[in-house]
Structure 1
């Protein structure tokens, strides 16, 4: 169907873009994998340090094997690490959506920012009256 010179040229240019952006995407994916591996390695070293510092003793250690008790320790320590991640993510105030530095969350788009700023302005005006 599309046999005009313009469409042929556009198809050719799209093919060139696919190649160029494919290389960039591959590079970006490799960097992401490397970063996640570094992060996992760092977390595992922290976890091992915490496990070496603390020992868990309970009343029913007679019934448990050492592997089960280690699993309990790792589960409780893993949960503690996750809780700190949640606290860092909720650093924004609920009403104003601003963090301590006065910035909005990264996920917020410009349209939503305008709405939020209007809401904050209305709240300030209400407080003054």
Structure 2
């Protein structure tokens, strides 16, 4: 696809806008990170509101959680109460990812295997000869 004059102009203007806004953005980032003088006051206010936990403690806790999950037999937490053959759960519901058409097909297959259980099966339409 050819590069139009309009797209070149827009790209140029976006670059100029980035140059113009860069100092403001940097100041905002510094304040958010708490590296600016104004930011230090904000961080001290945050300590009053929230509990500040050092990164080392969080890492150790995450490692301990990881070890706990590794002790399992390596299987994911899935619906253990879902039938693998029919894909129905304990409430008779199909999974959310299954389309209505697929669910209908599975139900029809299940009903034919059961023999209808007292209901008359529908005859397929077609030429009767």
- State the TM-score, normalizing by the size of structure 2: 0.34
Greater Rg, structure 1 or structure 2? 2
Tell which has more relative contact order, 1 or 2 (C-alpha 8 A, sep 6+). Answer: 1
Q: Which has the higher helix share?
A: 1
- State the TM-score, normalizing by the size of structure 1: 0.34
